[in-house]
């Protein structure tokens, strides 16, 4: 059974009487532990797809089953709990809380997790160690480089040990070297720790770090392909 | 999320906009300060008046002529001549009022006192030698007149400090003679500065034997008041009844509704003052409380702006697993912390102002005014402030909680 099962998924926005069909019947599966890139030009519906897959928005047609359960069967509060425990998010704009230390930023998902507070520090420090930022615990986001900010965001996505990591254009705001490092970490998470990684990007180069690419265009799947010559991020750095 | 952590989160949210947070709570601070000030000063005034009444003694009973006033416009009813010398005789009889320890008739009125070419409009107070004891008011210089002076219609006077200043300045006043209604009175005592005392200003009063006052100053046969002291506090109520019975017999009254006198104890007077001051204080506090409402609206306004500004943060928190309830709690907590802090600051400021005023009143105006910290008002103040945070923070907090994580994250 696949972790993510999408069949005939539709999403229509209603904005002041105008209907916009962002997704028009999308079907695919993602297995646990897979590293999949969802690729497409802007306006293709890939961000909408990520929002629905990440339980940030509800679809308007078709079916989406996550971990065996249809999204329609979850209440809003349950969606929040799933986002918290089983999903991790990495955004293009990092979305760190300003004037808040790196450590506190990484702890943010723990606030809502029900995990005992005394273990928060340890969990957050472990996650920061995994992205190589143990020396930046007390820094504030404004004092970090773009690459460091994104690694803090990855640590934050990791801290609850989620099943899936959603990365929405994670290298979009980074220089190529920092971007490489981010991709290396994502590959490591997929291969060494078995996290499912779903990467959204518009660049073929970035997408080719994944095992499989789902190409989206005009709200539909254009093509699904296995990456034959997969790029290894660690080859190019250092 | 634990309470401690939500507190921390809320505090961090407020710290991010320190000056705005400070301005936001100004309305609450002013409101609570005003309430605190009014309550504290009201309590101070009440304590002052009650203290004065109490210093006359809880064994003291006052008998006034006429009916008990039934309202402000009814005060004229006390100006009758129903209390006369024969009543004194009746009341003094042991078999009529067994627990009567002291009795002093009082006559009073306004007259001009003249010394050489100076004159001063004074309150003439005709009493007996018991005056000093009953009012706990002994002359600073000289003495009070004796029982013999009263019996012999002596022309002697004890004057208040203001009269001494006005008529004599820095000169010696003892043994000088002042003229009241053409009659010469020898000054035998001078009171120290007393200020207002039970609605009588003794600083501009002249105390003379009541016999002289009746005969030569006012030309009357009746008394304006009888002050009676029971031998023990426990006997006050019985004594009040004895006085009533005796006076009814003396005045041939059978129907108590037709009494031409009324009897009051210190307890009655204290209760009346407490009631009046309490109502007055509450009224003023209620007026001050209106500013709290205005402050609350200010809080709501700023919180709404804050919610819009922090749309991204709200979205992020939701994406990371915050439920709507978590977000609601966070913003409500921010509002309550703001207003409760405003309450605490207001209580501190109100107490400080009240303390300063009490210092001014007691140091420069010679009132026996003590600073009092109304604990109930303080607790109520913080409670009301926090409640305002809850009420006016609820709408903005719900707006925040309602945001969808996706829309909130998209918001630029």
Q: Over range B108-112, report the average pLDDT.
A: 90
CA–CA distances in Å: residue B132 to residues A43, B50, B128, B143:
99, 19, 9, 10
Which distant-in-sequence residues (6+ apart) come within 8 Å of B392 by Cβ? Answer: B296, B297, B299, B300, B303, B335, B339
What sign for the dihedral angle of Cα A109, A113, A118, A124?
A: negative
Supply the range of the domain harboring residue A185: 4-235
Cross-chain residue pair A109–B321, CB shorter than 8 Å:
yes
Which residues from B are below 8 Å from A95, CB to CB? Answer: 312, 316, 409
Q: How high is the pLDDT of residue A237?
A: 43
Q: How far apart are CA A220 and CA A48, in angstroms?
A: 12
Residue A87: count of CB within 10 angstroms of its CB: 26
**Out of B312, B319, B324, whose CB is closest to A83?**
B319
* B-interface mutation test, from A97, A99, A156, most B Cβ less than 10 A away: A97
The pLDDT of residue B73 is 57
B276/B403 same-domain check: yes
At B202 the pLDDT is: 84
pTM of the entire predicted model:
0.72
Average predicted confidence (pLDDT) for chain B: 86
Q: Given a cut of 50, is residue A11 above it in pLDDT?
A: yes
* B405–chain A Cβ distance below 8 A for any pair: yes
B16 shares contact with chain A (CB less than 8 Å): yes
Those residues whose C-beta lies under 8 Å from the C-beta of residue B375, and which sit 6 or more positions away, are: none
Q: From the list B16, B322, B404, which residue is nearest A112 (CB)? A: B322
Say which of A56, A81, A99 has its CB closest to residue B319.
A56
User: Which stretches of A67-108 are assigned E, i.e. beta strand?
Assistant: 69-70, 87-90
Q: What sign results for the dihedral spanned by CA atoms B101, B107, B111, B117?
A: negative
The C-alpha atoms of residue A57 and residue A50 are separated, in whole angstroms, by 9
Q: Contacts of residue A111 in chain B, CB cutoff 8 Å?
A: 1, 5, 9, 322, 326
For residue B302, give how far its alpha carbon lies from the nearest alpha carbon of chain A (Å).
20
User: In angstroms, what separates the C-alpha of B3 from chain A's closest C-alpha?
Assistant: 10
CA distance B313 to chain A (A): 7
Percent of chain A with pLDDT over 70: 98
Q: How many domains does chain A have?
A: 1
Strand arrangement of the beta sheet that strand A212-217 belongs to: A87-90, A164-168, A196-201, A35-39, A212-217, A220-226
A vs B: CB pairs below 8 A: 69
The shortest CB-CB distance from A97 to any of B2, B15, B313 is to B313
- A108 Cβ under 8 Å from any chain B Cβ: yes
Instruction: Check whether residue B215 and residue B330 sit in a common domain.
Output: no
Could you say which residues from 130 to 149 on chain A have a Cβ atom under 8 Å away from some Cβ of chain B?
none
**B313, B17 Cβ separation under 8 angstroms:** no
- Taking alpha carbons only, the member of B78, B71, B154, B162 closest to residue B113 is B162
- Give the residues across from A12 on adjacent strands: A21
- B258 lies in some domain: no
- CATH number for the domain harbouring residue A71: 3.40.50.300
Tell me the average pLDDT across B331-349.
Answer: 91
Sequence-separated (6 or more) residues with CB below 8 Å from residue B72? none
Which pLDDT value is given to residue B152? 93
User: A12 — phi, psi (to 5°)?
Assistant: -120, 130
Cβ within 8 Å, pair B320-A156: yes
Mean pLDDT calculated for residue range B11-15: 79
What local confidence, expressed as pLDDT, does residue B294 receive?
86
Q: B404 and A97 in contact by Cβ < 8 A?
A: no
B169 occurs within a structural domain:
yes
Answer yes or no: is pLDDT of B98 > 50: yes
Give the Cα-Cα-Cα angle B289, B368, B356 (nearest 5 degrees).
50
- Distance from C-alpha of B130 to C-alpha of B146, rounded to nearest angstrom: 9
**What percent of chain B is modeled with pLDDT above 90?**
31
Hey, what are B351's tokens? Answer: 């107490």
Q: Indicate whether B77 pLDDT > 50.
A: yes
Residue B78: per-residue pLDDT: 52
pLDDT in tens, A81-93: 999 999 999 998 8
Beta strand B225-230 with B60-65 is: antiparallel
Give the best-scoring range by mean pLDDT among B3-17, B58-72, B247-261, B320-334: B320-334
Confirm if B238 and B99 have CB atoms less than 8 A apart: yes
ipTM computed for the complex: 0.92
Q: Residue B24: its pLDDT value, please?
A: 84
What does the pLDDT read at residue B15? 79
Q: CA nearest B158: which of B130, B181, B131, B188?
A: B188
Overall number of domains in chain B: 2
Q: Look at A175 and B369; give whichever has higher pLDDT.
A: A175
Residues of chain B positioned with their CB less than 8 A from the CB of A109: 320-321
Closest approach of chain B CAs to the CA of A111, in angstroms? 5
Task: Kindly determine whether residue B313 and residue A84, on different chains, have CB atoms separated by under 8 Å.
Answer: no
| 3-state SS, residue A147 | helix
CA–CA dist A12, A3 (Å, integer): 24
Percent of chain A residues past pLDDT 90, beyond the cut: 76
Are residues B275 and B399 located together in one domain of the fold? Answer: yes
Give the mean model confidence (pLDDT) for residues A8-16. Answer: 90
| B321/A112 touch (CB, cutoff 8 Å), yes or no | yes
Q: Does the pLDDT at position A225 exceed 70?
A: yes
Give the model's pLDDT for residue A238: 39
Query: Which pLDDT belongs to residue B79?
Result: 58
Q: Would you say residue A114 has pLDDT above 90?
A: no
Q: Which of B2, B312, B320 sits opposite A83 (nearest CB)?
A: B320
Identify the helix (H) or strand (E) that includes residue A24.
strand A18-30
Last residue of a domain, one of B184, B204, B222: B222
Find tokens 């210089």 and name the residue: B141
Interface membership of B3 toward A (CB under 8 Å): no
Q: What would the mean pLDDT of B4-16 be, rounded to a whole number?
A: 77
Residues of B (299-328) whose Cβ lies below 8 Å from A: 312-313, 316-326
Last residue of a domain, one of B195, B222, B249: B222
Q: Report whether pLDDT(B226) > 80.
A: yes
B406 and A57: CB-CB below 8 Å? yes
Q: Are A187 and A232 a contacting pair, CB within 8 Å?
A: yes
Same domain for B115 and B45:
no
Q: Residue range A213-222: average pLDDT?
A: 93
pLDDT band of residue B140 (cuts 50, 70, 90) is confident
Q: What are phi and psi of B112, to 5 degrees?
A: -90, 130
The answer to whether the CB atoms of B312 and A95 lie below 8 A apart is yes
Mean pLDDT, rounded, for B225-235: 88
- Of B12, B312, B406, nearest to A51 by CB-CB distance is B406
pLDDT (average), residues A121-147: 93
pLDDT band, residue B157 (cuts 50/70/90):
very high
pLDDT at B199 over 80: no
The reported pLDDT for the residue numbered B193 is 79
Tally of CB atoms within 10 A around B368: 14
* Nearest residue to B146 (alpha-carbon basis) of B127, B169, B171, B122: B127
User: What integer pLDDT is reported at residue A139 of this predicted model?
Assistant: 94
Q: Which domain holds residue B384?
A: 3-53+271-410
Q: How far is B15 from chain A (nearest CA, A)?
A: 10
Q: Which of A56, A75, A91 to mutate to test the interface with B (most CBs of B within 10 A)?
A: A56
Give mean pLDDT, residues A157-173. 93
């Amino acid at each position: 059974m696949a972790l993510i099962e999408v069949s005939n998924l539709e999403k229509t926005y209603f904005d002041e009487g105008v209907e916009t069909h962002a997704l028009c019947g999308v079907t695919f599966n993602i297995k646990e532990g897979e590293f999949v890139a969802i690729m497409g030009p802007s306006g293709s519906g890939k961000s909408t797809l990520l929002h629905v897959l990440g339980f940030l928005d509800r679809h308007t047609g078709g079916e989406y089953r996550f971990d065996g359960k249809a999204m329609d069967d979850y209440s809003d509060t349950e969606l929040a709990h799933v986002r918290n425990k089983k999903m991790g998010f990495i955004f293009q704009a990092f979305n760190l809380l300003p004037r808040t230390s790196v450590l506190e930023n990484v702890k943010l998902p723990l606030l809502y997790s029900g995990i005992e507070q005394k273990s928060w520090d340890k969990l957050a420090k472990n996650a920061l160690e995994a992205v190589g930022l143990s020396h930046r615990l007390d820094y504030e986001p404004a004092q970090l480089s773009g690459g460091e900010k994104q690694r803090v965001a990855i640590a934050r996505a990791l801290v609850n040990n989620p099943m899936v990591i959603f990365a929405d254009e994670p290298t979009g705001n980074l220089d190529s070297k920092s971007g490489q490092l981010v991709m290396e970490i994502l590959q490591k998470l997929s291969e060494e720790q078995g996290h499912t990684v779903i990467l959204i990007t518009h660049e073929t180069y970035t997408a080719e770090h994944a095992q499989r690419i789902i190409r989206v265009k005009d709200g539909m799947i254009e093509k699904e392909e296995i990456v034959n010559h997969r790029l290894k991020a660690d080859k190019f750095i250092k | 999320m634990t309470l401690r952590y939500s507190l921390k989160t809320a505090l961090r949210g407020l710290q991010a906009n320190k000056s705005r947070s400070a301005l936001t709570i100004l309305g609450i601070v002013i409101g609570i300060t005003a309430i605190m000030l009014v309550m504290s000063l009201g309590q101070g005034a009440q304590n002052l008046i009650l203290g004065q009444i109490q210093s006359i003694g809880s064994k003291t009973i006052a008998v006034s002529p006429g009916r008990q006033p039934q309202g402000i416009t009814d005060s004229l009813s006390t100006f009758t001549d129903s209390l006369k010398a024969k009543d004194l005789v009746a009341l003094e009889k042991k078999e009529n009022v067994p627990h009567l320890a002291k009795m002093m008739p009082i006559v009073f009125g306004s007259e001009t006192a003249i010394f050489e070419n100076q004159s001063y409009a004074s309150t003439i107070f005709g009493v007996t030698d018991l005056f000093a004891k009953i009012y706990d008011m002994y002359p600073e210089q000289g003495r009070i007149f004796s029982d013999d002076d009263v019996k012999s219609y002596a022309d002697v006077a004890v004057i208040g400090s203001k009269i001494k200043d006005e008529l004599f300045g820095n000169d010696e006043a003892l043994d000088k003679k002042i003229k009241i209604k053409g009659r010469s009175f020898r000054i035998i005592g001078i009171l120290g500065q007393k200020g207002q005392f039970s609605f009588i200003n003794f600083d501009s009063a002249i105390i003379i034997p009541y016999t002289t006052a009746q005969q030569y100053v006012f030309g009357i046969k009746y008394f304006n008041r009888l002050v009676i002291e029971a031998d023990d506090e426990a006997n006050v109520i019985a004594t009040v009844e004895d006085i009533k019975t005796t006076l009814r017999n003396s005045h041939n009254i059978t129907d108590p509704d037709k009494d031409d006198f009324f009897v009051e104890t210190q307890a009655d007077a204290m209760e009346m003052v407490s009631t009046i001051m309490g109502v007055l204080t509450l009224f003023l506090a209620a007026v001050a409380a209106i500013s709290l409402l205005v402050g609350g609206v200010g809080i709501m306004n700023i919180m709404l702006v804050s919610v819009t500004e922090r749309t991204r943060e709200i979205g992020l928190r939701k994406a990371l697993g915050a439920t709507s309830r978590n977000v609601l709690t966070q913003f409500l907590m921010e509002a309550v912390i703001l207003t409760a802090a405003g309450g605490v600051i207001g209580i501190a400021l109100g107490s400080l102002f009240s303390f300063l005023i009490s210092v001014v009143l007691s140091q420069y105006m010679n009132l026996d005014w003590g600073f009092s910290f109304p604990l109930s008002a303080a607790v109520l103040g913080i409670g009301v402030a926090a409640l305002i945070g809850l009420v006016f923070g609820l709408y903005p907090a719900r707006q925040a909680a309602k945001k969808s994580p996706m829309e909130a994250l998209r918001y630029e």
